[in-house]
Structure 1
Amino acid sequence: MRKPSVTRLTMIVHVVLLVICILLMVPSGMSGAAEINQEDLRSLVEAALANNPEVRASSAHQRMLDYRARQAGSLDDPMLMLKIQNGVLRDPLNFSRDGMTQKVVGISQQIPWFGKRELRGNLARREAEASHLMREERLLEIVRSVKEAYYQIYVTDRSLEILARNMRIMDDLIILAQNRYTVGQGAQQDIFRAQLEKSKLLDMRITLEQQRRSQEIRMNSLLNRPVYTRVGTIPEPPITPFSQGCAELVELAENNRPLLKSMRAQIGRSRAAQALARREFYPDVALSFEYMQREPAMGGDGDDMYGLGLTFNLPLRRERRHAMLAEAASEEAMSAAELNDARNGIRGGIADLLSQMERRRRQVELYKTGIIPQSRQNLESAVIAYRVGKVDFASLLDSRLTLFNYERDYYDSLADYQIRLAQLEAMVGGLSSAQPPDPGTGE
């Protein structure tokens, strides 16, 4: 009878170890290895803003637009004229044969109607401003993408940690089922089912490891560094109270969001285009001066001569100019409608993100203080009850799976809160300094 006694002692030891493993499954717990090579979100964002090719191209793009705007308001180059006037064909190089033969040097300058140059420069500056602000909008998207990738790596790492703990629990459950089967208290099917559950966990680990690698590649692409660079572990971010309301955030977006600024600049460009189109109904002027040098001939003294000219274009194609004015007015109406649509989208987006963040915050608190501790207690009770034959093995596995899913949901809610916060920051164009500290920095 010693062998059954030893087997029961082994079963008791495994039950105790299994309970200890369950007690160690704390939602906020991190292994010692996780403290090594922790990534800092602020440093990653700074690296992206310093190294991302789109960011580098933005400054060059702004200089290009500034130089283009300078060209728009400048005068056309003057025209120099050199000619021989009234030359004699029978003796083309003899300038003293006829008194009317002249060597002419002239210069002319095209001068737009008053105000056109200023309007053209304003039009180009508005266009440059709108284009550059759209570049700044793209920079906000880069920062948001870095933060999203950061928290996606975080939740994947936590899922892998939970998976590793559950695999250790499954090993203990397999041994426990084997021991009960040995003493005739359990079914062999329990062993097979436990091994199948472990195989499912192994399959899930393969998928999570691949997801982690894909997220690393995305992060490295945003930071413009080699795609095989390893991304370190992510510390657990705190959820701090969010003080700003929807109305305050909408006002912040009106003042800070590059998209809205770009659309307002586009409206200003359309108005400048209308003003320029109205000036097109007036003629431009060309001033010219000619100096005519003559040689004495045919009894004449050959006095030099000059000529002054004032030339106007005739703006008779009024249909084209009316169409130009209508085009600019339609562009203004279109830009104003797009601005209102963007404002409505931002208002709705801010309200929706605040609602989702509040839901996730409450879920995190509920998982941390209620659901997960209760699920852990339920699993501990199921292990003890299975040991004495009060519950079947399927119920024990269900309890383990329930705790596993709740722990993953906890970290998913925690990461999703931070992702929504990053999206909110991008939507309003950056939060004020009164906001909570940057998650993950601990400041």
Structure 2
Amino acid sequence: MKYLRSLALLLLIFLFPVVTWAEEIKLPPENLPQLIDAALAGNPEVKSSQSRWQMFANKAKQAASLEDPMFMLKLQNLVAREPFSFGGSDPQTAKVIGISQQLPFWGKRDIRQEMAKHEAESYRWSIEERKLELARMVKETYYQIWATDKSLEIVAKNLQLLGDFVTIAESKYSVGQGVQQDIYKAGLEKSKMLDMQITLKQQRKSLEANLNYLLYRPGNTPVGPIADFSLPKITQSAEQLKYLAEEKRPQMKSLSELVSKGQAGHRLAEKEYWPDFNLSFEYMFREKVDNDMVKDPGYNMFTVGVTFNLPFQQEKRRAMVAESTSETSMATEELNALRNTISYTINDTLAQMDRRWRLVELYKGGIIPQAEQSLESAVISYRVSKVDFLTLLDGRMNLFNYERELYESQAEYMMKLAQLEAAVGGDITVATAPPVAAQPPTAPQAVAPAEPATPPQTPADEHSKHH
């Protein structure tokens, strides 16, 4: 009867949920939107991108400015034999002040400012793209932690069950109804499960470190449990998502700004065939001269002039036009490549999400209930010695593997949704109804709930009931 009592304890364990690893450490549940906001506010790469944008935005303000005017002060036509005589001895000696201003050809300043603005806007959209990628990485890590916690939960549950399997096998062996090999097999499976638990705990610590890195906080900051979630259903078609990406994806806008910058650069290169100008004004202060040889009233004079370069270097200017054409072509093809990548990502991700959705439905609606029924039958049959211990153990391990695959499929679906949102450029309108049930399956019901409370039955009664 000792092994029957152990089996009753085993069945009770089936009926009560196991406390998860995350709940044991008494941390509050994590909130995904808050984690994303913290990452966007504190991540140094985002701050670096913002400073880069500010740098180029200030360059845009400088692009349309004129060069500083040049001021001139000179003493003109001094007599060499009287170097310190600044006037009064020669009518050609004068003190001169002047000012000049460089003026580019009409339209060049506006085009330079336009180019600088397009470049600054490109960096501004790069910030949004970086934020999008950062949010995606936070979401992926978040759901990986959830899947790891679920795996730790079912590992802990199965460790308890395998411990009871060992006790049952020892009890049956002690009364001559079992074999020693069953004890060794149960112990080996328990050791494998402990090895898996150690690996999963290490994985969770690594995921915690990654999440803390993304949030720019101390690497040893503990991460609380992740709440269960429902799988949202995508309502848009692939074509609708592609159109949405054209409207929302920051990198598309960034490359579009670079295309516009290249086009403006082409217009600027064409204007280089026209000269730039330099306007100048000089005022000459003269002294009155009255001597035996020369008499001059010393009237003041001024000079107005304009100079301009001669654009004879045609090869240089043709190269500038070719450079701007290549720059525009490069940005255009990068934009086309991005469109192609987005199209592929959307179609591939939707296909993978559809597969995961169907797998979750299959596990919840078919495979796991069938595995629970199979294990229930194996438990009942093992009690009356109709099946061997390995059949019971295999049934338990099969159910364990199916549960893990269910949680992995759910987490993978949400990670693919995060990747899809990053490809499109923002949140996607989805239906939030779960595939089958609002909550993940609880601990498997190996037998009817009322059975553990009934008095132990004889093997003959069990055999009659089973048949």
Range of TM-score over shorter length: over 0.9
Counterpart of 1:207 in structure 2 is 199
Does the aligned pair in 1 maintain the 2:20–2:152 contact within 8 Å? no
Counterpart of 1:126 in structure 2 is 118
Deviates more, 1:84-93 or 1:313-322: 84-93
1:426 aligned residue (407, 422, 433): 422
Counterpart of 1:91 in structure 2 is 82
1:24-57 superposed Cα distances (whole Å, 9 cap, x missing partner)? 469xx97993795111111111111222222333
1:363 aligned residue (359, 363, 380): 359
TM-score, normalising length from structure 2?
0.88
Pair 1:75-2:71 in alignment: no
2:405 aligned residue (406, 409, 422): 409
Pair 1:305-2:301 in alignment: yes
Pair 1:16-2:41 in alignment: no
**How many Å apart are 1:88 and its aligned residue?**
1.8
| Distance in 1 between residues matched to 2:91 and 2:27, nearest whole Å | 99
Counterpart of 1:379 in structure 2 is 375
2:148 aligned residue (143, 156, 173): 156
Does the aligned pair in 2 maintain the 1:83–1:104 contact within 8 Å? yes
Does the aligned pair in 1 maintain the 2:43–2:214 contact within 8 Å? yes
Structure 2: which 5+ residue stretches go unaligned?
A: 439-467
Does the aligned pair in 1 maintain the 2:360–2:410 contact within 8 Å? yes
SS at the partner of 1:315? coil
Pair 1:112-2:112 in alignment: no
1:278 aligned residue (262, 270, 274): 270
Pair 1:235-2:227 in alignment: yes
Structure 1: which 5+ residue stretches go unaligned?
A: 1-8
CA RMSD, 1 decimal: 2.0
Query: How do 1:226-375 and structure 2 match up within 5 A?
Result: 226-297=218-289, 298-375=294-371
**How many Å apart are 1:61 and its aligned residue?**
3.0
Counterpart of 2:444 in structure 1 is none
CA change 1:110–1:236 in 2 (3 A) is: same
Counterpart of 1:184 in structure 2 is 176
**How many Å apart are 1:391 and its aligned residue?**
2.2
2:389 aligned residue (393, 412, 416): 393
**How many Å apart are 1:321 and its aligned residue?**
0.6
Counterpart of 1:33 in structure 2 is 23
CA change 1:44–1:416 in 2 (3 A) is: same
1:164-210 superposed Cα distances (whole Å, 9 cap, x missing partner)? 00000000000011011101121112111211111111111111111
| Distance in 2 between residues matched to 1:323 and 1:130, nearest whole Å | 25
**How many Å apart are 1:145 and its aligned residue?**
0.6
| Distance in 2 between residues matched to 1:116 and 1:31, nearest whole Å | 66
Counterpart of 1:43 in structure 2 is 34
Counterpart of 2:449 in structure 1 is none
CA change 1:245–1:143 in 2 (3 A) is: same
1:111-146 superposed Cα distances (whole Å, 9 cap, x missing partner)? 000000000000111111112212211110000011
Q: Which amino acid aligns with 1:131?
A: Y
Counterpart of 1:4 in structure 2 is none
SS at the partner of 1:265? helix
1:236-263 superposed Cα distances (whole Å, 9 cap, x missing partner)? 1101322111111111100000111111
Counterpart of 1:3 in structure 2 is none
2:159 aligned residue (154, 159, 167): 167
1:249-282 superposed Cα distances (whole Å, 9 cap, x missing partner)? 1111000001111111111010000000000000
CA change 1:24–1:378 in 2 (3 A) is: farther
| Distance in 2 between residues matched to 1:437 and 1:384, nearest whole Å | 40
SS at the partner of 2:67? coil
| Distance in 2 between residues matched to 1:122 and 1:20, nearest whole Å | 74
Does the aligned pair in 2 maintain the 1:113–1:283 contact within 8 Å? yes
1:328-364 superposed Cα distances (whole Å, 9 cap, x missing partner)? 1112112111111110110111111111111111111
| Distance in 2 between residues matched to 1:44 and 1:274, nearest whole Å | 45
Deviates more, 1:89-98 or 1:118-127: 89-98
Does the aligned pair in 2 maintain the 1:19–1:380 contact within 8 Å? no
| Distance in 2 between residues matched to 1:91 and 1:405, nearest whole Å | 107
User: What is the percentage of aligned positions where both structures have the same residue?
Assistant: 49
Counterpart of 1:6 in structure 2 is none
| Distance in 2 between residues matched to 1:398 and 1:100, nearest whole Å | 115
Pair 1:142-2:138 in alignment: no
Counterpart of 1:5 in structure 2 is none
Counterpart of 2:48 in structure 1 is 57
SS at the partner of 2:295? coil
1:299-342 superposed Cα distances (whole Å, 9 cap, x missing partner)? 21221111111001011111011011011111211211111111
Q: How many residues align?
A: 429
**How many Å apart are 1:148 and its aligned residue?**
0.5
| Distance in 2 between residues matched to 1:281 and 1:307, nearest whole Å | 29
Q: Which amino acid aligns with 2:56?
A: L
Q: Which amino acid aligns with 1:161?
A: E
| Distance in 2 between residues matched to 1:31 and 1:63, nearest whole Å | 46
1:283-312 superposed Cα distances (whole Å, 9 cap, x missing partner)? 000000011111223421221111111001
| Distance in 2 between residues matched to 1:270 and 1:264, nearest whole Å | 10
| Distance in 2 between residues matched to 1:328 and 1:33, nearest whole Å | 61
CA change 1:420–1:438 in 2 (3 A) is: farther
Does the aligned pair in 2 maintain the 1:42–1:438 contact within 8 Å? no
| Distance in 1 between residues matched to 2:21 and 2:281, nearest whole Å | 87
2:188 aligned residue (189, 196, 214): 196
TM-score, normalising length from structure 1?
0.92
| Distance in 2 between residues matched to 1:56 and 1:327, nearest whole Å | 32
| Distance in 1 between residues matched to 2:201 and 2:21, nearest whole Å | 18
| Distance in 2 between residues matched to 1:32 and 1:290, nearest whole Å | 83
| Distance in 1 between residues matched to 2:158 and 2:178, nearest whole Å | 22
Does the aligned pair in 1 maintain the 2:27–2:225 contact within 8 Å? yes
**How many Å apart are 1:435 and its aligned residue?**
3.2
| Distance in 2 between residues matched to 1:437 and 1:290, nearest whole Å | 78
SS at the partner of 1:234? coil
1:380-401 superposed Cα distances (whole Å, 9 cap, x missing partner)? 2222323333222222222121
